[in-house]
Structure 1
Amino acid sequence: INVYARKRPLFDPEKKRGEYDVVSVKSGSTAVVHNCQMHADLKRMFVKHCAYTLSGGVFDEDAQEHDVYDRSAAPLVAGTLKGGVGALFMYGQTGSGKTHTMENIEKHAIEALFVGDGAAAGAKSIKVSYFEIAGKACVDLLQPGRVEIRLKELFEEQGDALTGQMEVELMGAKEPVVTSASDLKKVIDEGKSRRQTSATQCNASSSRSHAVMRLTVTLSDGSMGRLTLVDCAGSERKEDNTHHNEKQRKETAEINASLYALKECVRFRRLKFSGARNSNVHVPYRNSPLTRVLAECFVREDAGVAVIGTMSPASIDTEHSLATLKTINAIGGNEDS
């Protein structure tokens, strides 16, 4: 499991509002949030410097898109082209650059699968699934009319015993097979046009669902690999609910619950496979539709998993950035700094 963070630039409108940069990146591996707080006398202020060192590294605001891809996603693509499975998911506050980062990772992954590494590895075709998870519902983004998908677990058998290998079948999903980068891009664009967004206090066009893209690659030798990319719904604090209507508050509760389930599954997977192995550890992937979709990455030891937490540097978003770093730091198995 590799954990990364990415800091976006401070935008001009934020500067004009008087916002200032509260996030520093040290040596490409540590993010420091400079949290301005008040003393108990409510008269004097002080700055608490909260540092988080992440296993994968930290990208600053000047990081190039290809660098982010090469370090975080390229190893997962390479594993997929060898018949493995991998998942990358974006986590962070609404407006922190999640979707922007994911779109660029998608772009580079498509190029690698069809033009670069894919051609060398003998990728024949790719079956693509694209759907959103809103609450407990999985809705196909490749069909009109908000068609719901059912998740069915399939376990691999060897004789009379289960091997421990499994996958989740998407019952009722439209899963076109594409043979070119341009065809795959068209499918993705179609899905994105159907994704649910709504205005929130944080962002005028906030994603209120998790978008999941599954790319199942058929190789020339007949073997198959799978890459799953998840653009999580924007994580928001309980305090933000004061600006939401009842429907939005329910959505936020469901989003936060699924993100918590995801965090727990990654944590239990780490306990199961790293260090002193414990085969008795059960990864609770059935706790949410999001974690069920990613189940094979939690139960297979050879699966690759990466998480990128995105941060806004604006002073008004200090608590959000701290919460993101705290969450992804815990996923990586570290205590708070």
Structure 2
Amino acid sequence: MLFKDFAQILYNNCAGTDSQYQYFLLLFDSIMRDPSTKEELAQEKNDKYNPFDSLQQDTIERLFRGGNLNVKKLRVVYQKRDTNKFAKYIQQFDEDTQLNIEKDIKNHLPQFNSEEGDIGYACADLFVAILHDQIDDEPIIKDTKDKINNADELSKSFYYDPRDNKIHIDNTIIELPPQLLPPEGIADEEGFYIAQLLNAYAEALGSSKITIDDVPSLKRKYRDNFEEQRINYYSAIRIDRILRESFANPDIEMKTWKSETYDYISDTLRDEYDNGFKRLVEVLKTVIHCKTTSVVDQCERLIGPKERKGVCHLLEIDWTDDYE
């Protein structure tokens, strides 16, 4: 399927009042992960993170209608692809819109979404495949059928090399997204675990309530803990992203990682503590020794203390519960 056909289908169903120029940029913004390094954040501030932002409107309109996309720019997008982000973009639309998208794509690609059952991720995978075809690279993960099905398929040569930020499986190389940095402001999806942290600090300090605005005035140990937990959370989110991009059953692997982590920390979690902050500290001390049967735990060097601590926040633990 050609990019112009994919873009036109989504434009017809999702663009609303956006022009082709605006929607072209939105599509690439939606498939690219959020900026996470200082350099990328600076690029975003200067409207240079999306490599197509620098083009004139008439040029982009020609590209939308089928002009040749610059391979160098496409490589930048491909290297920073985020299927989870694009899937969420599609999932925000109502069911009728998603069904219309599926119907229109199937007119070009009859096998589209035949077994996936999730139009968001199916569109994301298709967009990535279109990008890959344009840049004609050696495949990292060609499509859903080529993703690793489960840990049993892995050889003993399965490891993460932090020097090149890639997973190596025999002759296959999987390029990974870089470490995610917490955004300056609190993202909506951080709401629950942030609230539990603040409750834990309040209980330790004998305060009725602590808000985000109070954090800068807290004692250093609480300020440092807050910043560290945000880093830990985004480290775990990165692992979820890796699973979605590299494995055919990401939800199963993620569920295994989370549930077995909970099993490991549950006794420590239910111990008696003077306050929720002490419970948090003891659980995080315990979890760094955890090993699960999830595929991410079987990849040498991929999971470290930050990721193990971060998954606790994905479990939505109430640190101030007395667990009686």
TM-score normalised over the length of structure 1:
0.21
- Of structures 1 and 2, the one scoring higher in RCO (CA 8 A, sep 6+) is 1
- Structure having the larger proportion of residues in helix: 2
- Structure having the larger proportion of residues in strand: 1
Greater C-alpha radius of gyration: 2
